[in-house]
Amino acid sequence: MAHAKTYKPPSSGVKREAPRTRGQFWTPAWAAEFMVAYALKDKPERLLDPALGEGVFFRAARRYAQSRGFDLVLFGRDIDPKVIGRARQSGLNDSDLRNVEIRDFVLDPPSQTFPAIVANPPYIRHHRLSLAQKERLREFARRATGRHIDGRAGLHVYFLIRALQALALGGRLAYIVSADICEGVFAQALWQWICSRYRLDAVIAFASEATLFPDVDTNALVFCIQNDQPATEFDWVKCRDRDSEELIAVVSGRPLKTHGKIEVHRRVLSEALASGLSRPPSQETAHQWSLGHFAAVMRGIVTGDNGFFFMTSARAKELGIPDSLLVKAVGRMRDVEGENFDSEDIERLEAKGRPTRLLDVNGLPFDQLPAPVQRYLKEGEDCGLPAKTLIKTRRPWYRMETRKIPPIMFAYLGRRNARFIRNRAHVVPLTCLLCVYPKQASPEFVEHLWKVLSAPETIANLRRVGKSYGGDAIKVEPRALERLPLPDWLVHAEGLDKHLAPRQASLDFGGI
């Protein structure tokens, strides 16, 4: 047998990671115009931008105050010393910047409150924060809100809490942030606290053609909040054009003759909190059934290093790995072309050189493995795989997660192609797909459930439980998918409700 090529770990994209690490995404000028118009509606004397960046809010605020004939003192914060130079280059002068401090807004807050705050906070997700940072931020949030904020909250969540604390009585906050602040596991506790103490005036969402950050895969929203008595209704606005004129009218309280570029819904707060503030108003009646009544959902397998554990059948033969130590698997959503995945699809992927075999040596001691497998594992060890984050907790390090073969899979992250997939190839999915395990294994039950899940009415409901991203993409996590509403008439038509027992024992779908 010819000597196989050794495994080499992939290199990282440093340039791609830099803006994500800093959380810097610049606000477009047209968005700054309507955000400033809301914050400065009452002509306050001071405005704070706690994440100065290039100073777009300062420039918009200066123009707004001059056009309406009132004096305004600008205050700013940032942790990046380079922002002062960038702000000067953008047209701000020393007078504009005299009250800018290079200090941490969340953990080293200003001692005074402000009647107007406008912010595009750093968008740094939780896994890019150190353990020490997370602990300090979570303790701050607990003291501030009296609630536990889940550890998966990003820095922008804590930034919002601090901004509200820094808002003077009667003051106005315009805050731009990603939709996950309304959709994450922490969202309910966060918005219960906010809406019980502050007045939510408006939530502004953006159609894909008007997105604030065209090159960033995030769904941005703007929140307009007053430090005033809470209200039971608010304006939910969908912006369909990159133009601030109509938005300025709405946030300023002026009537509009036409809504050519925006649509405005007056919403009841309780309905919006139940539906999700990032989602459009729900006209649907309550559903009796959800997917969780009929199936359990699990994520796919996390290998820790697909390049090492996931391979083509040709590669496995080259390495001398026997079929008995391989599991058929699918590794990315675009490898599944339709709503059915069968043995012909496996052949198609192999012909294209796509991996379809997952190394699984669970249950065998190392010294009982075939010599080629031992050599391959030793290569992985020499490359430092046992020290990788997701691998180092395993004993032994090459132990693979297991899943029973799911009859149905779900493509949980997509723009217009989120779908349920009938798994006729009997593969296990990696993390690109979710596993759907019907609570009854009979072929009849699985087929009836499949018909309900693949119906357009059910697919449309995914937006009611998923997280929204840029370009109309949605992502649905396992527990959220179990909450997916199923149309009552479809459940009855397929007879699924007849299969429900008063109590059903939980099934073992495979563990880590």
- Mean model confidence pLDDT for the chain: 87
Overall average pLDDT of the 103-115 stretch? 94
pLDDT the model gives residue 497: 86
Q: Is the pLDDT of residue 5 over 60?
A: no
Say if residues 275 and 464 touch (Cβ distance below 8 Å).
yes
pLDDT of 21 reads: 44
Residue 118 has pLDDT above 60, yes or no: yes
The whole-number pLDDT of residue 258 equals 61
The answer on pLDDT for 165 being more than 80 is yes
The yes-or-no verdict on residue 511 having pLDDT over 50 is: no
CA distance 239 to 227: 25
pTM metric for this prediction: 0.70
Average pLDDT over residues 80-101: 92
**pLDDT over 50 at 369, yes or no:** yes
**Predicted confidence band of residue 126 (pLDDT cuts 50, 70, 90):** low
pLDDT category, 196, cuts 50, 70, 90?
Answer: very high
Percent of the chain topping pLDDT 90:
59
Token code pair at residue 58: 């300062």
Q: Is the pLDDT of residue 182 over 90?
A: no
Range in 8-12, 313-317, 417-421, 428-432 with the lowest mean pLDDT:
8-12
Give residue 505's pLDDT band: very low, low, confident or very high (50, 70, 90).
very low
pLDDT of residue 506: 42
Q: Is the pLDDT of residue 251 over 60?
A: yes
What's the rounded mean pLDDT across residues 465-478? 76
Instruction: Categorize the per-residue pLDDT at 472 as very low, low, confident or very high, splitting at 50, 70 and 90.
Output: low
Kindly report, residue by residue over 425-470, the tens digit of the pLDDT.
999 999 989 999 999 989 999 999 999 999 999 988 888 888 776 6
Q: How far apart are CA 399 and CA 406, in angstroms?
A: 21
Collapsing DSSP to helix, strand or coil, 381 comes out as: helix
User: Which pLDDT score is estimated for 127?
Assistant: 60
Tell whether the model's pLDDT for residue 73 goes beyond 80: yes
Q: How many helices and strands, by DSSP H and E, does the chain display? A: 19, 23
Position 471 scores a pLDDT of 61
- Evaluate whether the domain defined by 31-275 bears CATH number 3.40.50.150: yes
pLDDT at 17: 40
Structure-model confidence comparison of residues 186 and 37, the more confident one: 37
The pLDDT value given to residue 230: 96
* pLDDT band at 474; cut points 50, 70, 90: confident
Residue listed under structure tokens 């894909």: 208
Q: How confident is the model at residue 358 (pLDDT cuts 50, 70, 90)?
A: very high
What's the pLDDT tens digit per position in 12-60?
443 434 444 444 568 899 999 999 999 999 999 999 999 999 999 999 9
pLDDT band at 274 (very low <50, low <70, confident <90, very high): confident
- Domains of the chain by residue range: 31-275, 292-499
Lookup: tokens for 425: 């190839």
Instruction: Provide the token pair at 109.
Output: 């807050």
What is the percent of the chain where pLDDT is above 70?
Answer: 88
Q: Is the pLDDT of residue 385 over 60?
A: yes
Mean pLDDT over residues 506-510, rounded?
43
Is residue 413 within 8 A of residue 475, CB to CB? The reply is yes
pLDDT of residue 180: 82
Whether residue 300 has pLDDT greater than 50: yes
Mean pLDDT, residues 140-166: 85
Give DSSP secondary structure letters for 397-463.
TTPPP--PPPSEEEE-EESS--EEEEE-S-PEEBTTSEEEEESS--HHHHHHHHHHHHSHHHHHGGG
- pLDDT exceeds cutoff 50 at 508: no
Taking residues 290-309, report their average pLDDT.
Answer: 96
Alpha carbon distances (Å) from 373 to 295, 320, 360, 366: 37, 7, 11, 9
Read off the pLDDT of each residue in 215-244 and give the average, rounded to a whole number. Answer: 90
